[in-house]
Chain A
Amino acid sequence: GAGVSQSPSNKVTEKGKDVELRCDPISGHTALYWYRQSLGQGLEFLIYFQGNSAPDKSGLPSDRFSAERTGGSVSTLTIQRTQQEDSAVYLCASSRDFDYEQYFGPGTRLTVT
Chain B
Amino acid sequence: AQKVTQAQTEISVVEKEDVTLDCVYETRDTTYYLFWYKQPPSGELVFLIRRNSFDEQNEISGRYSWNFQKSTSSFNFTITASQVVDSAVYFCALSEAGYSTLTFGKGTMLLVSP
> With a CB–CB cut-off of 8 A, which chain B residues contact A59?
101
Q: Are B91 and A33 in contact (CB under 8 A)?
A: no
List chain B positions with a Cβ less than 8 A from chain A: 33, 35, 37, 42-47, 50, 91, 93, 95, 97-98, 100-107
Contact B47 A102 (CB under 8 A): yes
Q: How far is the CA of A106 from the CA of B50 in the complex (A)?
A: 20
B47 lies within 8 A of A99 (CB): no
Contacts of B46 on A, CB cut-off 8 Å?
A: 104
Residue from the list A42, A56, A89, A101 in contact with B101, Cβ < 8 A: A56
Name 11 interchain pairs, CB-CB below 8 A, sorted by A: A33-B101, A42-B105, A43-B102, A43-B104, A59-B101, A99-B97, A100-B50, A101-B50, A102-B35, A105-B44, A106-B44
Can you name the residue of chain B whose Cβ is closest to the Cβ of A107? B43
Chain A window 30-71, contacts with chain B (Cβ cutoff 8 Å), 1 for yes, 0 for no:
010101000000110100101000001001000000000000
Q: Is the CB of A102 within 8 A of B98?
A: no
Q: Determine how close the nearest CB of chain B comes to the CB of A22; give it in whole angstroms.
A: 17
Task: Tell me which residues across on chain B come within 8 A of A105, comparing CB atoms.
Answer: 44
How many chain A residues touch the partner (CB < 8 A)? 24
- State whether A99 touches B101 (Cβ < 8 A): no
- Name the distance in Å between B53's Cβ and chain A's nearest Cβ: 11
Task: Say whether, besides A31-B100, A43-B91, A56-B101, A103 and B47 are in contact (CB < 8 Å).
Answer: yes
B100–A99 contact, CB under 8 A? yes
- A101 contacts B47, C-beta separation under 8 Å: yes
1/0 contact string of A78-113 vs chain B (CB within 8 Å)? 000000000001010101001111111111000000
Q: How far is the CA of A35 from the CA of B45 in the complex (A)?
A: 12
- B98-A98 in contact (CB<8A): yes
